[in-house]
Amino acid sequence: MPKSIRLYLFLFFIGLGLSAIQPKEYFTWFLEVVPALIGIIVLAFTYKRFTFSSFTYAFILLHCWILFIGGHYTYAEVPLFDWIKETFHQSRNNYDKVGHFMQGFVPAMIIRELFIRKNVIANHSYFNFIIVTVCLAISAAYEWIEWWVSLATGSGGDAFLGTQGYLWDTQSDMLFATIGAVMMLLFFSKSQDKAMRHAKK
């Protein structure tokens, strides 16, 4: 296993451990970090069959840390974004929009690398459109999960839902995920291509 992957694993578990120290609510913490836990299990079991580039793993780790921070404080109460809210006279803590941006950005990176290396799509005319569409589907599915959890747990799931009274929260979450996917494809595709070429050497 490369040193970079060992470092990423170390940083993953450091972040997970720190987030678990006296979080705002343990139930909300678990709901927020469970996607990261599922992700690392999937990546571990598939590592030998498909190893992503170090570039992609780095952004997966960044996304996990964003989840850990949101889980520790709850997305509505991350201190830095409370300061931003007060300084710029915003109506809500917008840390959740960072999370949803990454929910589009990182899956786009993962899907793109899978599609290229496995030659999933022969006609590249539809390549980016399909990637963005898949990312939007992932975002919509996550909104369903938030809805179901909130219905099942009542007030216990309110912090997980994190609407903060914003009527269009679900729609804006999906918009930010879409923006994240598009930004990844526009500005990071060449860097990912370079990382994939380097990984083959």
pLDDT in tens, 60-89: 999 999 999 999 999 989 999 999 999 999
Q: Over the stretch 29-46, which tens digit does the pLDDT of each residue have?
A: 999 999 999 999 999 999
Q: Which amino acid is at 34?
A: V
Averaged over 42-62, what is the pLDDT? 97
Long-range (24+ apart) CB contacts under 8 A made by 50-54 are 50/114, 50/117, 51/199, 52/110, 52/113, 53/113, 53/192, 53/195, 53/196, 53/198, 53/199, 54/2, 54/4, 54/5, 54/195, 54/199
Please report the pLDDT score of residue 39 as a whole number: 97
Please check whether residue 50 is in contact with residue 1, taking contact to mean a CB–CB distance below 8 angstroms.
no
Please check whether residue 75 is in contact with residue 32, taking contact to mean a CB–CB distance below 8 angstroms.
yes
Dihedral (CA of 179, 132, 102, 145) sign: positive
Please report the pLDDT score of residue 132 as a whole number: 98
Please check whether residue 68 is in contact with residue 19, taking contact to mean a CB–CB distance below 8 angstroms.
yes
Of 200 and 54, which is predicted with more confidence? Answer: 54
Please report the pLDDT score of residue 169 as a whole number: 83
Q: Say what percent of the chain tops pLDDT 90.
A: 79
| Backbone Cα Rg of the chain | 17
Q: Over the stretch 116-137, which tens digit does the pLDDT of each residue have?
A: 999 998 888 899 999 999 999 9
Q: Over the stretch 7-23, which tens digit does the pLDDT of each residue have?
A: 999 999 999 999 999 99
Confidence of residue 95 (pLDDT cuts 50, 70, 90): very high
Query: Which residue has tokens 């809500």?
Result: 92
Q: Over the stretch 149-195, which tens digit does the pLDDT of each residue have?
A: 877 876 655 556 655 666 778 899 999 999 999 999 999 999 999 99
Q: Output the 3-class SS for 137-178.
A: HHHHHHHHHHHHHHHHHHHHHHHHHCCCCCCCHHHHHHHHHH
Domain map (residue ranges) of the chain: 3-200
d(CA 94, CA 98): 7
